[in-house]
């Protein structure tokens, strides 16, 4: 009995040992290649992947979402496949996006969102030093249609790089990536292009414009008034007519007495 129990116990131990080792091995096996492949992956495959770079840095969820939803990420991916095509991306982080006035992004149509994202991309590879000699305004992807559209000014002294859209003054706060084909610089603000957001300052100008609708309304209000005054005149005429009838009746009554 004791021998049987011992045999059974040893069998159980062997079984448990087998389980823990076989369970332990698969647990280690996937984690090791998983760690190894991302470490190897970024270097060998040629074209840099903007989304992967931003995901790796972290804190760019809104920019990543916009890059994807606008299709600009795919566009960049395809273009960066050609090693002669170069870009500089100004990347505002989530904090920069959260500092926007509420509803700023929602006020944009899909096409305007594409322009907003393209405004953060220069069709040239710039090192931070290059910005010291850049001639303003620099061209952005958003302004591809007409030269002079969506201009952006970049000024640099030493290692400090400032960017002005005319609406927003931003600064480069770090280099996230730079490989002679693609440079990604973190910026502390979302670059709002005048071309998209200048229509809003004119909308305060339409604040005087509401006086125009008012001016239009006053004639419109005047015409109801004239109509009401005409009805007043009508009723006045009516009362006069009634009065006249009364007078004539009075006269008619008086005449017989005078006769």
Binding site for ligand NAG (CB under 6 A): 77-78, 81, 136-137, 153, 155-157, 160, 162, 164, 166, 168-169, 171
Q: Cβ of residue 54: shortest distance to ligand NAG, in angstroms?
A: 18
CB of 194 to ligand NAG, least distance (A): 7
CB closer to ligand NAG, 24 vs 202 = 202
Report, in Å, the least distance between residue 133 CB and ligand NAG. 13
Judged by beta carbon, residue 159 or residue 239, the one nearer ligand NAG is 159
Spatial separation of the C-alpha atoms in residues 143 and 132, rounded to whole Å: 22
- Indicate the residue among 135 and 258 with the shorter CB distance to ligand NAG: 135
Cβ closest to ligand NAG, residue 14 vs residue 167 = 167
CB of 126 to ligand NAG, least distance (A): 15
How far CA 220 is from CA of 67, 226, 255, in Å, comes to 49, 10, 51
Least Cα distance to 182 among 71, 15, 70, 53 occurs for 53
Distance, CA of 244 to chain centre: 75
CB 209, min distance to ligand NAG, A: 24
Nearer to ligand NAG, 89 or 193 (CB): 193
Give the Cα-Cα-Cα angle 98, 102, 107 (nearest 5 degrees).
115
| Position with the least CB separation from ligand NAG | 166
Residue partners of 82: CB distance under 8 A and separation at least 6: none
Give me the phi and psi of 225, to 5 degrees please.
Answer: -65, -45
Furthest C-alpha separation in the chain: 158
Residue with tokens 């339409």: 206
Give 230: exposed, middle or buried? Use CB within 10 Å, 0-12, 13-18, 19+. exposed
């Amino acid at each position: 009995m004791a021998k049987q129990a011992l045999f059974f116990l040893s069998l159980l131990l062997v079984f448990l040992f087998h389980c823990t080792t076989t369970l332990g091995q698969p647990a280690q096996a996937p984690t090791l290649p998983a760690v190894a492949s991302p470490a190897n992956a970024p270097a060998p495959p040629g074209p840099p992947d903007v989304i992967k770079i931003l995901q790796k840095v972290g804190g760019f969820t809104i920019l990543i979402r916009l890059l994807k939803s606008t299709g600009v990420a795919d566009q960049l991916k395809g273009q960066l496949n050609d090693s002669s095509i170069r870009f500089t991306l100004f990347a505002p982080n989530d904090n920069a996006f959260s500092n926007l006035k509420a509803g700023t992004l929602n006020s944009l149509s899909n096409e305007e969102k594409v322009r907003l994202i393209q405004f953060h991309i220069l069709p040239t590879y710039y090192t931070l030093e290059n910005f010291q000699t850049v001639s303003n305004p620099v061209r952005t992807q958003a302004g591809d249609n007409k030269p002079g559209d969506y201009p952006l000014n970049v000024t640099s002294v030493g290692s400090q790089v400032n960017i002005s859209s005319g609406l927003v003054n931003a600064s480069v706060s770090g280099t996230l990536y730079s490989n002679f084909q693609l440079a990604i610089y973190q910026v502390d603000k979302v670059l709002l292009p005048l071309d998209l957001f200048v229509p809003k300052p004119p909308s305060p100008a339409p604040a005087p414009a509401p006086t125009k609708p008012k001016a239009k309304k006053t004639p419109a209000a005047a015409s109801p008034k004239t109509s009401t005054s005409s009805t007043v005149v009508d009723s006045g005429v009516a009362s006069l007519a009634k009065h006249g009838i009364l007078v004539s009746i009075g006269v008619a009554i008086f005449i017989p007495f005078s006769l």
